[in-house]
Amino acid sequence: MLVSYDVKDLFTSIPLSYTYNIIFEALDTDSSLKERTKLNPYHIVDLIKFCMTEGNYFHFQGEHFSQTQGAPMGSPLSPVLAEFFMEHLEQRAFACDNFTGRVKFFKRYVDDIFAIVKKGHEESFLHHLNGLFTEHIKFTIEKEQGGRLPFLDALVIKDGHILKTTVYRKPTNTDRYLNYHSHHPKSVKIGIITGMVDRAFNLCDAEFLDAELKHIERSLIQNDYPRRLVDSCVGRRLELLRSGAPHAQPAQDIRITMPYYTGIAEAVKRLSTIIGFQACFSSSTSLAAMLRSDKVKIPTEDQQGAVYNVNCTCGASYIGETGNTISHRFKQHIGNLKTYRTAEKRKNGEKITTRGRPQKKDPDTIMNEALKTSAVAEHAVTCGKTEKDLSVSKVCRETNYQRRKIKESFYIRHNPNINRDEGSGVSEAWIPISYLTECFTITNRPHTIRHSSGSEGTRGRGIDLPDDTPTAPGQTHV
């Protein structure tokens, strides 16, 4: 009889302490372990324990929780621990001779088991499996119906003493796929077709393949795929699969990823084949991603990686970037200003009332270093302002260092500021093009100011945009 056994809630049911011992024994008996790592089995198991306990927390409704049982869903280590445990469970299950001749065939994929069991013994084997770890692991059973049994994506069909397979679809299947008119690259839509053909070719016996291909064609046409495109892709893919030729194309050394926009992306794709680079396209933010609120949102001041804007009450502005949080970077600017003021008081013989480590260097040296380190501090000193006159805001978030430097440079070039330079990472060839967009214009400033003079080393600057340059409402982001 064809039978399918399934472990209920495998990851969260794994007995971790027992599994640690299994892993230790496996590592301790591995003669090649010393050739692959300098860590001994004790160290490796301790690291696993740390990840499963100290690093096993999640945030829900403003509170933090720790999982007290089993391995966490989504952890990269959980499948590894599950495999170690299930292999050990299999060894214990067949250590008993009672089922050696009764289970004719036994194959497992993670927590799903396909077995051929002598008729009348499928329930007793289930009871045997459930008795191995009674407090943790529970198996469920599904028996063949009319000589048919679904297992994973396949429907196994018993034809006498021969097993045949075809594609299995759940009763709730709607044949709903990515609509052809959806705003996605054509390569993604072709990938859906080839993926369905690959599954049919790999799962279906010859007598079921034609029916499955017709079902694929009907489903795709219902999702607005052109019949001509479907027939062409299916035919080419079948020819490639039957020939046994390798599917992968040689990758280009240069890969460029950019947002997908209909028309532009196709032109870039054509150019990529001529110039010799691989063009990849990312999807834009979906409506679901913008509306969903189930993810924990990190406050703006705690987000790392951003282009920021420091404003002074006099109207001056400084644009910078940081891989840290904006609040941390702003404190560094304020710290330089406070250091300057403290050194200035020492130089004038005034009493120092601020806390902190006493300054040991010459006041003039400290003052010059503080101004050299921060253009914000230099402006505040020149303008006669205090830290209370300064405020900071986020212009845009960017975690990638190179892209962050490029954005900083564009924002500096497009907005009046007190920056000492125009940033780095941007070729001059892109500058004229950048003025065709309003994305880098920061609006809602108190007023614009130019610094034509200042202390040595400061370059006051402003940028006069053309009168017909459109202004975006509010603060814009890229």
Tens of pLDDT, residues 88-122: 999 999 887 777 778 889 999 999 999 999 988 99
| 471 is a domain residue | no
Average pLDDT estimate for 247-269: 79
User: 261, 263, 180: which is closest to 220 by C-alpha?
Assistant: 180
On whether the pTM is more than 0.85, the answer is no
Q: Are 180 and 223 in contact (CB under 8 A)?
A: yes
Choose the final residue of a domain: 434, 451, 470.
Answer: 434
| Single-letter amino acid code for the residue at 159 | D
* Range in 10-19, 304-313, 348-357, 446-455 the model is least confident about: 446-455
| 260 is a domain residue | yes
| 224 is a domain residue | yes
Residue 308, Cβ density class (10 Å: 0-12 exposed, 13-18 middle, ≥19 buried): buried
- Residue 8 sits in the same domain as residue 131: yes
- Residue 138 sits in the same domain as residue 227: no
Residue 359 pLDDT grade (very low, low, confident, very high; cuts 50, 70, 90): confident
Task: Give me the pLDDT at residue 290, please.
Answer: 76
| 362 is a domain residue | yes
Residue 457, Cβ density class (10 Å: 0-12 exposed, 13-18 middle, ≥19 buried): exposed
Task: Give me the pLDDT at residue 449, please.
Answer: 31
Residue 196: its H or E element: helix 186-203
More confident residue, 172 or 249: 172
| 325 is a domain residue | yes
- Residue 106 sits in the same domain as residue 173: no
The residue whose two tokens read 């067949």 is 94
- Residue 217 sits in the same domain as residue 191: yes
- Residue 96 sits in the same domain as residue 194: no
Tokens of 255: 């890969």
Backbone dihedral angles phi then psi of residue 7, each to the nearest 5 degrees: -80, 130
Choose the final residue of a domain: 297, 313, 333.
Answer: 297
- Residue 225 sits in the same domain as residue 312: no
The DSSP-derived string for 289-351 is: HHH---SPPPPGGG-EEEEEEEEETTS-EEEEEEEEEHHHHHHHHHHHHHHHHHHHHHHTTPP
All residues at 6 or more sequence positions from 90 whose CB lies less than 8 Å from its CB, including other chains: 106, 108
Q: Are 422 and 369 in contact (CB under 8 A)?
A: no
Count of the separate structural domains present in the chain: 4
What pLDDT digit, counting tens, does each position of 420-448 carry? 988 887 878 778 877 777 788 887 544 33
- Residue 276 sits in the same domain as residue 344: no
| 174 is a domain residue | yes
Q: Looking at the predicted structure, is the pLDDT value of residue 472 above 60?
A: no
Task: Give me the pLDDT at residue 467, please.
Answer: 37
- Residue 287 sits in the same domain as residue 379: no
Residue 155 pLDDT grade (very low, low, confident, very high; cuts 50, 70, 90): very high
Residue 215 sits in which domain range? 148-248
- Residue 138 sits in the same domain as residue 43: yes
- Residue 178 sits in the same domain as residue 260: no
Residue 248 pLDDT grade (very low, low, confident, very high; cuts 50, 70, 90): low
What pLDDT digit, counting tens, does each position of 301-341 carry? 788 999 999 999 999 999 999 999 999 999 999 999 999 99
Choose the final residue of a domain: 143, 163, 188.
Answer: 143
Task: Give me the pLDDT at residue 463, please.
Answer: 35
What pLDDT digit, counting tens, does each position of 43-68 carry? 999 999 999 988 788 888 778 888 88
All residues at 6 or more sequence positions from 67 whose CB lies less than 8 Å from its CB, including other chains: 12, 56, 58
| 443 is a domain residue | no
- Residue 278 sits in the same domain as residue 312: no
Q: Looking at the predicted structure, is the pLDDT value of residue 416 above 50?
A: yes
Percent of the chain scoring above 70 in pLDDT:
91
| 322 is a domain residue | yes
- Residue 96 sits in the same domain as residue 204: no
Task: Give me the pLDDT at residue 18, please.
Answer: 94
Residue 250 pLDDT grade (very low, low, confident, very high; cuts 50, 70, 90): low
